[in-house]
Amino acid sequence: MILRHSSRVTGHSSRSSLVTRHSSPSLGESGLALLTTVMLLVAMTVIGIAAMTVTGMGSRMAGFGRMAEAGATAAEACLGTAVKLVQETIDNGTLPAAYRDDANPPGPVPAGNAATLQAEIMGQSDNNADAADAAPNTVAVVNNYVVNGDIDRLYAAPKAGSAQQFGAGYEGTGAGAAAGGVDIYYRIDCSTTNTATDTRSRITAVYACTVTGESCQRKI
């Protein structure tokens, strides 16, 4: 009878051992799996934020590039208008009325500044102290930019090409005895401002012009 009781105890112990071998994962293993998952989530979040930041910066840089290009285009348009104005004024001996802002349609030259600009172009006020930012000679709006232009006559010099032209002497605005023997140098300064985006651009160039009907040539 004692032997049978011992046999039952032994069988119970075997079953208990089997249950222990098939127990659930330990607490340490669960914690490690949770930590790994959290680290992966953090890494993916950081990568996502970095990608969004780079994309945003790229878009902003592209926008700045487009605004700068628009400002430069507006300034170049100002240069072209100023050169045409100078050449026509030299050829006609007076500032064409069509360029005044009280003409129909309005031109780029403020009516109150027309006499001063004509004097500058015709050599009666060389190196005038006016500037594009203050009392501009031309004002226009191009591509949402306010464009101010300043035209200054710098000096006149014998036109390179022949001894006759060099010795012809000065006989009026840009004219010599050899006809068209003088180059007149003008500095044209154009500044653009877009107040909505606070974007600014500026171009300054020097042109040589004559009275022979030739177009002004850019030197600088």
* Residue that wins the pLDDT comparison between 5 and 161: 161
pLDDT band for 25, please (50, 70, 90 cuts).
Answer: low
Output the pLDDT for position 168. Answer: 44
179-183, 193-197, 203-207: which is most confident: 203-207
Output the pLDDT for position 23. Answer: 53
Identify the domain containing residue 132 by its residue range: 53-218
For the chain, the domain total comes to 1
Say how far apart CA 61 and CA 10 lie, in whole Å: 80
89 lies in some domain: yes
pLDDT (tens digit per residue) in 99-109: 999 999 999 99
Output the pLDDT for position 55. Answer: 74
Determine phi and psi for 78, rounding to 5 degrees: -60, -45
pLDDT band for 26, please (50, 70, 90 cuts).
Answer: low
Q: CB under 8 Å to 78, separation ≥6 — which residues?
A: 138, 140, 142, 147, 148, 149, 188, 190, 192, 203
Whether residue 185 contacts residue 177, with contact meaning beta carbons closer than 8 Å, is answered with no
Output the pLDDT for position 106. Answer: 95
35 lies in some domain: no
pLDDT beyond 50 at 87: yes
15 lies in some domain: no
Q: Which helix (H) or strand (E) holds 30?
A: helix 27-92
32 lies in some domain: no
CA distances to 32, 156, 184, 218 from 181, rounded to whole Å, are 92, 10, 10, 18
Q: CB under 8 Å to 24, separation ≥6 — which residues?
A: none
Residue carrying the six token digits 């232009």? 149
The share of the chain scoring above pLDDT 90, in percent, equals 40
171 lies in some domain: yes
pLDDT (tens digit per residue) in 135-185: 899 999 998 899 999 999 999 998 776 444 444 444 445 444 344 588 999
152 lies in some domain: yes
22 lies in some domain: no
Least confident of 55-64, 111-120, 133-142: 55-64
12-16, 47-51, 133-137, 186-190: which is most confident: 186-190
pTM of the model: 0.66
Say how far apart CA 90 and CA 87 lie, in whole Å: 5
Q: CB under 8 Å to 157, separation ≥6 — which residues?
A: 182, 183, 185
pLDDT beyond 60 at 21: no
